[in-house]
Amino acid sequence: AAGVRNSARGPAVRATSRRTSVRVRADKCLIVNTKGGGHAFIGLYLAKELLAKGHDVTIFNDGDQSKLSAKAPFKEYSNVRGLKVHWGSPVDYSSYPEGPFDVVYDNNGKDLDSCKPLIDAAKGMCKHYVFVASAGAYKANNIEPMHFEGDERKGSAGHVAVEKYLEAEGLPYSVFQPLYIYGPHTAKDCEQWFVDRIIRDRPVPIPTPGVQLVTLTHVEDVASMLAAVPGNSAAIRQHYNICSDRQISFVGIAKAVGKALGKEPRIVLYSPEEVGTGKSGKADGFPFRTIHFCASADKAKRELGWSPRHTFLDDVPSLVREYTSAGRQHKDVDFSVDDKILSA
């Protein structure tokens, strides 16, 4: 199994960021990265951030290299100078990269079965174990929808079981909880869903009332927060939301995309329950939950000295340009769910 240890280093340089004192040093960092979904490109951007800070970085990517290495975001690994990449299975000790490592980022597992082998390998040896969980583990609150660290969470969520195991085993851990993430090389559409419709002059069906607030965060901001961990003892045994400090409504996203395209979006509000395309906060074909999903980043700002560099509104024009430069406006899109909604 790959070892993770506390390495002996020379005197560290002290740097003060807001209220947090951080010991700056070069650590050996292991990023265990998922093979798909909305978190898949975190590993790429986190590696860039850590390398820029002078750390030694290895990505241990789940999955079959022959099937994934030519796809986004994994095809970008070869463009990152100094990055070491290893492919295997995080639940198979025999496929682990050779260590030891000082800081371990688990950006792969979602439940205890998928996380336990890596946690057990790191036990008693790493300086910092970072679990990238999800703000989706919070219980929805329609009275006070913005989530803060410490709010009630779903006992059934797989991430919560992992966090309890980290606590019980006494690892020096931190838990980070992303929400919706956007940016280049994503493996999961976000704003692209809106561009698909507006650029083709199609109606944009949005679950009523349309003013539901969401937090959209650029992947570079996610990575910069995670990269604040090495040498930061204040983050140990803490939970942090990873998110922008702004929120936007569903209708607001459509209007922002429309403005970037020079078009006025035709927004159609509908009830997923009434048209038979969804229930319990979900809607077929829609890229978001149908309820508020936003959180506060104040704790990370206060304790990690972090601040976002991006806002969604500022980024929309470049996101639209990326869409058109990839030729997506000429590709076929399945609008069958939209058609069902519009004919109801």
Q: What is the pLDDT of residues 218-275, one digit of tens each?
A: 999 999 999 999 989 999 999 999 999 999 999 999 999 999 999 999 999 999 999 9
pLDDT at 190: 87
| pLDDT, average across residues 115-141 | 94
Give the integer Cα–Cα distance in Å for 215 and 298. Answer: 14
Given this model, what pLDDT does residue 44 score?
Answer: 98
Please determine, for residue 19, whether its predicted confidence score (pLDDT) is greater than 50: no
pLDDT (mean) for 16-25: 48
Structure-token pair, residue 254: 């459509």
3-state secondary structure of 82: coil
Confidence band for 26, pLDDT divided at 50, 70 and 90: confident
pLDDT-derived band at 108 (thresholds 50, 70, 90) equals very high
The CA-atom distances, in angstroms, between 334 and each of 167, 185, 267, 285 are: 45, 22, 18, 9
The pLDDT of residue 23: 52
Whether residue 9 has pLDDT greater than 90 = no
Range in 24-28, 247-251, 276-280 with the lowest mean pLDDT: 24-28
Instruction: Note the pLDDT of residue 119.
Output: 96
Whether 219 contacts 42, CB under 8 Å: yes
pLDDT (0 to 100) of residue 14:
34
From residue 181, give the alpha-carbon distance in Å to each of 16, 65, 214.
29, 24, 11
pLDDT of residue 96: 96
The tens digit of pLDDT for each residue in 138-196 reads 999 988 999 999 999 998 999 999 999 999 999 999 999 999 999 999 988 889 999 99
CA pair distance 212, 227, nearest whole angstrom = 31
Whole-angstrom distance, CA of residue 53 vs CA of residue 24: 9
- The answer to whether 80 and 112 have CB atoms below 8 angstroms apart is no
First to last CA, the chain: 56
pLDDT of residue 80: 98
Pairwise CA distance, residues 275 & 192, whole Å: 24
18, pLDDT greater than 70: no
At a CB cut-off of 8 Å and minimum separation 6, what does 168 contact?
none
Looking at residue 36, its pLDDT comes to 93
Q: Please give the mean pLDDT across all residues of the chain.
A: 92
pLDDT for 33 beyond 70: yes
Cis peptide before 100 (omega within 30 of 0): yes
Contacts of 105 (CB under 8 A, 6+ apart): 29, 30, 31, 32, 43, 46, 130, 132, 226
Cβ–Cβ < 8 Å for 78, 68: no
Task: Give the DSSP per-residue string, 131-154.
Answer: EE--GGGBPP-SSS-EE-TTS-B-
Q: The tokens of 7 are what?
A: 């390495």
The reported pLDDT for the residue numbered 1 is 41
pLDDT tens-place string over residues 57-96: 999 999 999 999 999 999 999 999 999 999 999 999 999 9
pTM of the model: 0.90
The predicted-structure confidence for 206-215, as pLDDT tens digits, reads as follows 999 999 999 9
pLDDT of res. 124: 79
The pLDDT of residue 6 is 34
Q: How far apart are CA 105 and CA 227, in angstroms?
A: 10
Q: Are 179 and 214 in contact (CB under 8 A)?
A: yes
